[in-house]
Structure 1
Amino acid sequence: MASTVYDKRVIFTSRHFKKEVLVKLNTQNTPVWIPLQITEKSTRTLILYFFLDDGSKTSSSLILTVPLHFSLSANVNDYTCEALLQDDRDGKELAKELKQSSDVRSFSVDVTHTPPSTYTVTDLKNPNVEYGKPLYGPSQASSELDFSLRDIQEGLRKLSIISSSTARNCLVPSLPLCVISNGIGHRVDLPVTISPNNTRQNNVLPCQSLIFLKDVETRATHLYTTEASKFTFPFQLRPVSDYELMVFQGCQTQDNCFLIKAVAVCSFRSYMTAQEVILLYGKACSHMSSMGAEEFANFVPITHLYRSKPILHFLNIYNNTNGIMYKYIKNFGGDPSSTLNRKLHGLFFSANIDPLTGRPPDVSYYGDQRIHIPVMFMINSDINLYFADFYCHYVNHHVTLVVTLKGSEADLFCSKRLMPLDPNFNVFLFRRPHALHAMVNSKITVEVFYTESINIVQMINSRCAFLTSVTQKGNAALKTAVGLPKRRDCKICNLKTNS
């Protein structure tokens, strides 16, 4: 069986000397672009150099003439070279090694989500990195180093790449080229976009960001570049999937040669689409069926939904907010792939009661005071009801239902992303028209996310709502601010489980 790894000869050469370095690479079935990590030791400078590799063991050596930038050393022994992203190191480990071996700084980026499927990398402009050094040295004229990518672009127009399991981290530079690497063996055409090379004004190096996006499961890696402060990925990410993001900030000094100033790393899980919400609903229904939850047998009546908070929370409402309990943005509790996370505002209430006593639990993990709101205030003819989430932490499984006022912004948001339920009858929580109570399924913990603020003082004064004391356990503030994510290894409530 042929080896899947071979040594690539990289030769650093200067006027009188040369140095050979062997770089281990994955064997390719078709030409792909590989990023090399080059470190110049005397100035602790990091450079990423991209070369087109045909994967052949007999391919010609890569020859690099030093210095790679006028400010760098001309001594070939000052340079080291290795392939970037050719092993299973995660982004944080790789970034740590880069900062130890060079003067690369670190900065932070974030990934924002615009439902249902658009993802944008933000904060790409790092204020702690200085740019603007001249492109050419004192003895070099711009005419001598005129950069033209026309020949490269023309060749890449006809190129398509195939990434197999042995070539799972294939990359193509994207300035001005777009990059695609498909790690599941499908053939993909390489799109090429030609943009005028007009960014170098007064021979000043523009700040650029190299954005590596890796699908953890398929190992497919994509690379893009931008000079903007944010970048939106031009394709839909796979839902409920883990991604790693590594961003290098620097400037292009030669063709396909980038001098790196800073690096940022983050990881995230893509959100559920409406289709995944439907699949999660099916899992919730299957779970209740396996517990013997048949029709009305496990439904119990409930007259109030309740919400527990610390006493200081209620005192603040009485004294500072004119009696209004304001809705807040949903945290990361429940499924981390929920499309509601950090997108929808509301108030959580619980319908969980003891089927024997008809009363809520005697303890609370969210505060020592509990407000009880009539169920008909939230479940009535003016609302729409949606299934949003199914999750567990340790033993009990929970479902999250969202209540919106018909025609509201929240209702429009949920109608495109969640699964609608009939508030008059469904398998979780329903209320018949004109009934003073609702019916809740006792085989599962039902939570209600109400998307409007409530004047609780007015309701208490009119005796529609009331407060009770309850024993508190745990850190209520932490659970509210951050939220407790679901167990990722539960095969009952996860669309994907960790192996």
Structure 2
Amino acid sequence: MAITGQTYDQEVVFKSRLDTHVTHVKLNKHEVPVWIPLQITEVKTNSVFLYMFRSSGVERMSPITLFTPLSSDLSGDVADYSCEALFKDGKDEKEQIGFLTQKFRVGIFSVDVNHTPPSTYTVTGLTSHGFQNDLHPFTDLSRNTQSEKETSFIEKGFRSLILSSTSLEKASPCLNLVFLKDTETKCINLFSTVNSKLTLPFQLRPVTEYELFVFRGKEIQTCCFKIEAIAHCSFISYMTQMEVFEMYKRAIGHTLSPGLIQCYDFCPVTHLYRNKPLLHFLNIYNNTNGIMFKYIKNFGGDPASTLNRKLHGLFFSAKVDPTTGLPPPVSYYGEQRIHIPVSFMITPDTNLYFADFYCHYVKHKVTLVVTLKGSEADEFCQKRLMPLNQSFNEFLFRSPDSNVAMVNTRVTVEVFYTESIDIVNLLESKCAYLTTVKQTGNPLLKTIVGIPKRKDCKICNLK
């Protein structure tokens, strides 16, 4: 359903045995035939329905006719029914959904979207009660349709969905009508399922914001569904390896910019460091047997990063002053700083990946990921990130026989280490050490939530 901005007036007629009620809705013109959901409300029981109207793509001269009552418990007075377009130009769909759930007898449930690389997305949290597919008004093309009477098709991507145009004698099961909206192109795709999840049958555009509107209900008349609950969520499609490579090239271009420094400016570092409040380290000493456990990555950096809420690890920094070679005297994440040898973290048994490039209005940052070879995290990164040569790359490298690494000081280099660390053992063996620095800001907020990248930066944003 591609919204073009051109609208036309469509007549809708509600009919009963004794009366007729005429109303009008504004519908969008489309380039191709599509299914358009019309929202029907009934005042007697505060019920909401979706009527799936097959549009030829242009203005329809004949009216859309709906017969009432839609079921025995509803009003037989056609004047008790109203109709409007579900998705209207210039109207916030989320506000419309909120209005429906507050005013009418419509519940709310939650859905989520899972990602499988390179670009497969699955909607989860849908209803699942073991319904039989042969009772389902929407079904896969693989179903034998020769016995069906009058069927029409929804062509979307790699799948054709079939909508039965005949009323079902048996009671219809609950099903989910899933509307996927590309917020940039305004294109809306329609799917349905009786299962607990739905895998989208085509690739989404990477680094794009999408919205999901899910209506759970039953078909009570041909193409007309009584809505029992509504779900809404929004998400940004992840970067594929191609986008990560494009981000990598942008980071390289930034470090080579003549406006910054004419030549490479690397500084030697012996330790990577991590800032945390004192209570964090006391908890490790007293409650976790000295282990600093890895945690799931927050939403800091690029919101389309494939690492967000997917990969566990510990963040360390390689940022140093190019003049003194020392870390900054101020921390945003806590007053205690643990320094761990770079030779402990980057070894012949690890792999190094480029993951992200972003900024927070000041200096640009690069996120590198260190994994143990053959680990689950390593397999995760192989499919999503760009591998780097640990012995030489443009950001942070170390020769296998050296205890010193070289770091590019034109960007802030962060290292996401994907293993838990026994810091007590490292401290007792004097391989690692602690220092105290000045803290500023709220470290808890930055750690749990993360700070998204600057949206209007033309250097580090792909769009």
Q: Runs of 5+ in structure 1 lacking a partner?
A: 136-147, 157-171, 173-178, 181-187
- For the residue of structure 1 that corresponds to 2:450, the secondary structure is coil
C-alpha deviations, 1:382-411, integer Å up to 9, x for none?
211110000111211100001111122211
C-alpha deviations, 1:243-276, integer Å up to 9, x for none?
0111111111112110001111111100000000
Q: Distance in 1 between matches of 2:147 and 2:460?
A: 51
In the alignment, structure 1 residue 240 sits paired with structure 2 residue 207: yes
How far did residue 293 of structure 1 move? Answer: 4.7
Equivalent residue for 2:350?
383
C-alpha deviations, 1:29-53, integer Å up to 9, x for none?
4433221110001211100001222
Q: Distance in 2 between matches of 1:282 and 1:189?
A: 33
How far did residue 355 of structure 1 move? Answer: 1.1
- For the residue of structure 1 that corresponds to 2:286, the secondary structure is helix
Superposed counterparts of 1:67-466, under 5 Å: 67-125=69-127, 150-153=148-151, 155-156=152-153, 172=154, 180=156, 191-192=160-161, 203-290=170-257, 291-293=259-261, 297-466=264-433
C-alpha deviations, 1:139-198, integer Å up to 9, x for none?
xxxxxxxxx993432x54xxxxxxxxxxxxxxx5xxxxxx53xxxxxxx79724589x99
Q: Distance in 1 between matches of 2:415 and 2:91?
A: 42
C-alpha deviations, 1:209-261, integer Å up to 9, x for none?
11100011111111111112222212111110000111111111112110001
Report the residue type matching 1:152 in the other structure: E
Equivalent residue for 1:7?
9
Superposed counterparts of 1:456-495, under 5 Å: 456-495=423-462
Distance 1:311 1:422, change over 3 A: same
Distance 1:199 1:371, change over 3 A: farther
Equivalent residue for 2:50?
48
The answer to whether the Cα contact below 8 Å between 1:366 and 1:476 also exists between their aligned partners in 2 is: yes
How far did residue 57 of structure 1 move? Answer: 4.2
The answer to whether the Cα contact below 8 Å between 2:167 and 2:222 also exists between their aligned partners in 1 is: no
How far did residue 378 of structure 1 move? Answer: 1.2
The answer to whether the Cα contact below 8 Å between 1:281 and 1:389 also exists between their aligned partners in 2 is: yes
Aligned length: 443
Q: Distance in 1 between matches of 2:446 and 2:414?
A: 15
Report the residue type matching 1:23 in the other structure: V
- For the residue of structure 2 that corresponds to 1:468, the secondary structure is strand
The answer to whether the Cα contact below 8 Å between 2:10 and 2:60 also exists between their aligned partners in 1 is: no
How far did residue 453 of structure 1 move? Answer: 1.1
Distance 1:459 1:198, change over 3 A: farther
How far did residue 329 of structure 1 move? Answer: 1.2
How far did residue 90 of structure 1 move? Answer: 3.0
Report the residue type matching 2:109 in the other structure: F
TM-score by length of 1: 0.84
Q: Distance in 2 between matches of 1:32 and 1:372?
A: 60
TM-score by length of 2: 0.90
The answer to whether the Cα contact below 8 Å between 1:107 and 1:126 also exists between their aligned partners in 2 is: no
Deviates most, 106-115 or 74-83:
106-115
Q: Distance in 1 between matches of 2:284 and 2:182?
A: 45
The answer to whether the Cα contact below 8 Å between 1:149 and 1:255 also exists between their aligned partners in 2 is: no
Q: Distance in 1 between matches of 2:348 and 2:168?
A: 59
The answer to whether the Cα contact below 8 Å between 1:199 and 1:206 also exists between their aligned partners in 2 is: no
Q: Distance in 2 between matches of 1:58 and 1:274?
A: 45
The answer to whether the Cα contact below 8 Å between 2:321 and 2:327 also exists between their aligned partners in 1 is: yes
Report the residue type matching 2:459 in the other structure: I
Root-mean-square deviation (CA, aligned residues, Å) is: 2.5
How far did residue 376 of structure 1 move? Answer: 0.8
Q: Distance in 2 between matches of 1:190 and 1:305?
A: 50
The answer to whether the Cα contact below 8 Å between 1:307 and 1:349 also exists between their aligned partners in 2 is: yes
How far did residue 462 of structure 1 move? Answer: 0.6
C-alpha deviations, 1:453-480, integer Å up to 9, x for none?
1111011001000001111111111111
Q: Runs of 5+ in structure 2 lacking a partner?
A: 136-145
C-alpha deviations, 1:323-352, integer Å up to 9, x for none?
111111111111111111111111110000
Structure 1 runs of 4+ off > 6 angstroms?
197-200
Equivalent residue for 2:29?
27
How far did residue 101 of structure 1 move? Answer: 4.3
Report the residue type matching 2:150 in the other structure: I
The answer to whether the Cα contact below 8 Å between 1:91 and 1:265 also exists between their aligned partners in 2 is: no
The answer to whether the Cα contact below 8 Å between 1:387 and 1:418 also exists between their aligned partners in 2 is: yes
Equivalent residue for 1:183?
none
C-alpha deviations, 1:404-425, integer Å up to 9, x for none?
1112221111112111111111
How far did residue 125 of structure 1 move? Answer: 3.0
Q: Distance in 2 between matches of 1:103 and 1:126?
A: 21
Q: Which protein has the bigger strand share?
A: 2
The answer to whether the Cα contact below 8 Å between 2:31 and 2:57 also exists between their aligned partners in 1 is: yes
Equivalent residue for 1:18?
20
How far did residue 435 of structure 1 move? Answer: 1.6
How far did residue 86 of structure 1 move? Answer: 2.9
